[in-house]
Amino acid sequence: MSRIGKNPVEIPNGVTVGIEGQKISAKGKLGERSVTLMDEVEISREDNMIWVKPRSASKRAGQMWGTGRTMVNNLVTGVSEGFTRNLEINGVGYRAQVQGNDLVLQLGYSHEVRFPVPEGLKIACPEQTKISISGADKQKVGQAAAEIRGYRPPEPYKGKGIRYEDEYILRKEGKKK
């Protein structure tokens, strides 16, 4: 039995949810999104709760139960609160800034790296060494953060590079004389 799937998704105030077969759509202050769930689960709504239940006792239905519930929760949370991923830049001369619709990164290469801001996301640089990515789609926010981090992942000796705000870099000792 899915521990995640058996919990209902609560609909916060200001969010309207529509269910049509396997497609669920939500509209809130941060926009409108929809997701189509797998055939192995069924969706029902009672008052301000959305329940996801498996259609059968098969292994696949059990797997999709928790996945479907998480997708519905991310959909509702995304249009009401949104998701944010913060990155930090460590290194001498490493910095970031937003120019127009591009994030411009200077990461020690002979050229600057330009990252076009994906549609539906907002990228802000409150400081030269901090990047904040926010949006309604959790997958897009995480993907953009992973792509930006991929330009210069943190290295284990000095910790230089781009890392997630909550990431811990396991440091190594340098070579000895």
How many Cβ atoms are within 10 Å of 141's Cβ, its own excluded?
23
Q: Is residue 169 part of a domain?
A: no
Give pLDDT, residue 101: 93
* Residue 31 sits in the same domain as residue 46: yes
* Residue 91 sits in the same domain as residue 159: yes
Domain of residue 125 covers 83-164
Q: Which two tokens stand for residue 74?
A: 């991310």
Q: Is residue 158 part of a domain?
A: yes
Phi, psi of 83 (to 5 degrees): -125, 145
Give pLDDT, residue 128: 93
Q: What is the pLDDT of residues 9-66, one digit of tens each?
A: 999 998 999 999 889 999 999 889 999 999 999 999 998 999 999 998 888 988 899 9
Distance of alpha carbon 172 from alpha carbon 170, whole angstroms: 7
* 95, pLDDT greater than 90: yes
Q: Is residue 175 part of a domain?
A: no
Can you tell me which residue has the tokens 């913060």? 86
Q: Is residue 171 part of a domain?
A: no
Q: Is residue 54 part of a domain?
A: yes
Of 59, 80, 101, the position where a domain reaches its end is: 80
Give the chain's domain count. 2
If you average pLDDT over residues 62-73, what whole number do you get? 91
Of 21, 54, 80, the position where a domain reaches its end is: 80
* Residue 15 sits in the same domain as residue 55: yes
Phi, psi of 166 (to 5 degrees): -100, 10
* Residue 87 sits in the same domain as residue 155: yes
Q: Is residue 1 part of a domain?
A: no
* Residue 19 sits in the same domain as residue 45: yes
Of 36, 52, 80, the position where a domain reaches its end is: 80
What rounded mean pLDDT belongs to the chain? 92
* Cα dihedral 12, 16, 20, 24 in deg (nearest 10): -50
* Residue 15 sits in the same domain as residue 57: yes
CATH code (residue 156): 3.90.930.12
Q: Is residue 133 part of a domain?
A: yes
